[in-house]
Amino acid sequence: MKKFDLNIEKILENWETSHAIRELIANALDEQLLTKTKEVEIFKSGNSWLIRDFGRGVQYTHLTQNENQEKLKNTSVIGKFGIGLKDALATFDRKKIKVVAKSKHSQITIAKSEKEGFKDIITLHAIIEDPIDPKFIGTEFELVGATDKDIEDAKNLFLKFSGERIIETTKQGQVVEKKGKHGNIYINGVKVAEEENFLFSYNITVMNASIKKALNRERTNVGRSAYTDSVKKILLASASKDVAEILAKDLTNINRGTAHDELTWIDVQEHSVKILNQQGKYLFVTSMEAMQHPDMIDQARNSGHEIITIPENLKYKIQGSTDLSGNPIVDIGQFVSNYNDSFDFTFIDPDNLNDKEKAIYKLTPKIIELFGGQPKKVKSISISSTMRKDFFADVETLGCWDEGTSSIVLSRKTLKTITDYSGTLIHELIHAKTGQDDVTRAFESSLTETIGKLCGHILDK
C-alpha cells in the first residue's frame, strides 16, 4: 500500500455531490471517446452506485495536477485541467461518501493523513493498493453513500443523459430542443449555464477565447457574454427546416414583446427567413402589409404559400435578397412579380368579338396615331378575358404593359365604350414608353404631356 498526497485541506466548498459525480462521468465519457470503446455504464448494485468505462484504466499518475496533453489536442473532450478527479475525491470526502476506484493498474481509496514531514498538517491522501483483478478492463468507480438523486442530478448536467433532442448539428455546435421551460448551454456536452428565455438549448463544440477564459473549474455559471457569439454562430450555420420553422413561429411574437431572446438578433431573424424560403413556399409580410393587402394574402394562401409575419426592420433587411440557394426571398414585392410572371392570359381572337367590340377594336390604329405612334417596345396589343390582379390598387385591372413579352394586354371589358378602351390603351402606351409604374412623378408628367398633345391635335383639327 502506498499513500499519494493530494495536497488538499479544503477545496470547492460550494460543490455538491452531483458536481463530484459529474467529474467521474466526464472522465469516463472522455475515455470512451479517446479509446473508441463501448458505452459508459452507470448503474446501481446493492447500496452502491457504479460508474464504469472500458478504456485504459485509471492510474495514480492521473491524480497529479497537470494539463492533459492528449485531451488538449482533442477539441471534443470535456476535461482539460487535470484537477477534476482531485476535486471530486475531495468533495466525496467532505460529503462522507466512500469511493473506491478499480482498474487493472491499482485500487484507489481516500483517507486523511499527516502530510509527510509536517505532522501538524492533515491532508487528503489517495491510498494506492495492488489491483484486485489485473485483467480488469477500464475503470470502475464505486460510490457508497451517494443517493439516487445525486446520480440523477449529475446525469442531468450532461446533454447525453438530459433527454433533450438534438435538432441539428453544425460545425460550430448543436441546436437542441429544450426539454423544460429554460434552455441549457452545454460545452462539449456538459451543462455550464441556463437561459430562462432561450428558444433552444445549445451544445457548443468550438470554444473561442471568451469561453476558454470563462470556463472555470466548476463549469457552472458561465456568463452569457462568453457564449453569445458561439450561439449566434451555431444558429447562423444551421440549415434545418425544423430550426427555421421554430424561429419563424417565434418571429410573430416580436411585436407582442413575448419573443425569445434569440429573436432579438436581426441576423438570426434574417437567417431563419433564408432557410424557410429555400425549404418551401412562404410569403414573408409585415402585419401592416397583411392588413393592407388581404386579396394578396388570400391569393398566396390559395396558391399554397404559408404566411409568415415578420417585424418591420426585418422587412427592409430581406428586401431584394436571396436565400441559401440563391433564390429571391418571397416578400410582398417578389410575390407580385412571381404572380405576374406565372399568370396565363386568356387571349381572344379579334374575329371572335361581337360587332360592337369589333367596331371599337378597329379604332386601335387611330388611337395610336393620336398618341403619337406606337412605341418601338410594343410588339403587340391583345385582348384577354382574364386579367392579372393589381394587388396594390383598389380598382379593377383593365390593362397592363407586359415588359417580358413586349405586349399590351387589355381587358375585354374595356371594349364596352370607346372612352374605356382608348383611355386604357393610352394609359398602357405611356407605361410602355416611359417604363414607369403608376403613381410615379415620371409617369404623371408623361400622362399630362400626352393629354396636352391629344387636346392640341383635336383642337387643331
Domain ranges across the chain? 2-155, 164-236, 241-342, 350-460
Give the CATH superfamily of 350-460: Metalloproteases ("zincins"), catalytic domain (3.30.2010.10)
Using the predicted structure, report yes or no on whether residue 263 has a pLDDT greater than 60: yes
Are the C-beta atoms of residues 244 and 168 closer than 8 Å to each other? no
Q: How far apart are CA 21 and CA 328, in angstroms?
A: 52
More confident residue, 115 or 233: 233
pTM, entire model: 0.74
Rg (CA), the chain: 37
96 has pLDDT over 50 = yes
Q: Which amino acid belongs to residue 152?
A: E
Query: For residue 284, which of 247, 310, 317, 253 has the smallest C-alpha distance?
Result: 310
Over the stretch 285-320, which tens digit does the pLDDT of each residue have?
Answer: 999 999 988 888 998 999 999 999 999 999 999 999
Separation of alpha carbons 359 and 421, rounded Å: 11
Residue 385 sits at φ, ψ, to 5 deg, of -85, -10
Cell of 354: 361581337
Interval 107-113 mean pLDDT: 88
Percent of the chain scoring above 70 in pLDDT: 89
> For residues 90 and 104, is the Cβ–Cβ distance under 8 A?
no
> Would you say residue 82 has pLDDT above 60?
no
CA neighbours within 13 Å on the CB side: how many for 107?
Answer: 12
pLDDT band for position 141 (cuts 50, 70, 90): very high
* pLDDT for the residue numbered 174: 97
Kindly report the average pLDDT of the chain as a whole number.
Answer: 87
Is 90 exceeded by the pLDDT of residue 45? yes
Alpha helices in 45-181 (DSSP H): 69-73, 84-94, 148-155, 159-162
Three-state secondary structure call for residue 382? strand
- At 269 the three-state DSSP class reads helix
Q: Tell me the per-residue pLDDT of 50-66, one tens digit each, with 9 for 90 and over.
A: 999 999 999 888 877 65
Quote the cell numbers at residue 448: 399630362
